[in-house]
Amino acid sequence: MQRLNGRTALITGSTSNIGRAIAYRFADEGAHVIVSGRDPDRGQSVIEHIRDRGGRADFVRADLDGSSSASATLAREAVSAAGGRLDILVNNAGIFPSSTTRTVDDDTFDRVYGVNVKAPFFLVQALVPTMSASGGGVIVNLGSWVARLGIGSGALYASSKGALETLTRAWSAEFRADNIRVNAVSPGVIRTPDLDSDAVYPGEALMIGTPAGRAGHPDAIAAAAAYLASDDAEFVHGTVVDVDGGRVGVAVVTGN
């Protein structure tokens, strides 16, 4: 049974990794997927893959810099490509520049908050009226495990994902009268699927002491996003679903 049959979905940053996996899963679930990203070649590759499997997909290029105009343009073009309505928005696009608190400069700070916080904020602002006019919709945000478990690097990124998780709860309350459900998925350490299977992935070390004991695959995040976007989650509101191999909630001690 295709849980998203007849629905349209915009997935930002969906030309690679987690976003691409979500696009594939949503298409398999029956959704007409609007793939979005900066690289038209990668976007074309994603939509061709979906179409080859019998799904529906279109690509809309977008460079979400945090400006309201960039988000509004994507919203307008996505709605047009989707046939005049949009049922699901997945705010996946994000950046994680290598930096520490001591090394972050103004430009890096503004870019991280522009892409990770302002872009989804203004995209929601632009799309809520369309969703509301169509009877409602679903918003799924992508948080991160580092928003709630402190680590010694990536403070700027962690704070931006914490902001998006906070917006998830606030939007759930704000848009309840519009019949718009808002939830988030918080990925753990996810191995880039494009890496050679024998390549050593440094992120694996961060999963020591967890039930999973290893990094996850983007498909695990896609499965959670598909659930939240579907009617199976109709009673789920303002929730952040941890899909992290137990990283945030469980400590596994050797020998126990």
For 69-93, the DSSP string reads: HHHHHHHHHHHHHTTS---EEEE--
| 250 domain residue, yes or no | no
| 249 domain residue, yes or no | no
Instruction: Give the total number of structural domains in the chain.
Output: 1
Look-up of token digits 């999973």 = 212
Catalytic residues: 157
**Backbone torsions φ then ψ of 136, nearest 5 degrees:** 130, -170
- Distance from C-alpha of 217 to C-alpha of 227, rounded to nearest angstrom: 17
Q: What is residue 202's three-state secondary structure?
A: helix
| 255 domain residue, yes or no | no
| 72 domain residue, yes or no | yes
The residue range of the domain holding 76 is 8-241
> Mean pLDDT score of the chain, rounded to an integer?
95
Chain centre to alpha carbon of residue 115: 12
| 246 domain residue, yes or no | no
Buried b (16+ CB within 10 A) or exposed e, 45-79: bbbebbeeeebbbbbbebebebeeebbebbbebbb
CA atoms within 13 A on the CB side of 133: 9
Residue 228: give its domain's CATH number: 3.40.50.720
Out of 102-106, 184-188, 199-203, 231-235, least confident range: 199-203
What's the pLDDT score for residue 16? 95
| 32 domain residue, yes or no | yes
Q: What is residue 110's three-state secondary structure?
A: helix
pLDDT of 255 above 70: no
Look-up of token digits 């009877």 = 135
How many residues in the chain?
256
Per-residue pLDDT tens over the stretch 87-143: 999 999 999 998 899 999 999 999 999 999 999 999 999 999 999 999 999 999 999
| 256 domain residue, yes or no | no
For 22-56, the DSSP string reads: HHHHHHHTT-EEEEEES-HHHHHHHHHHHHHTT-E
pTM of the model: 0.96
| 254 domain residue, yes or no | no
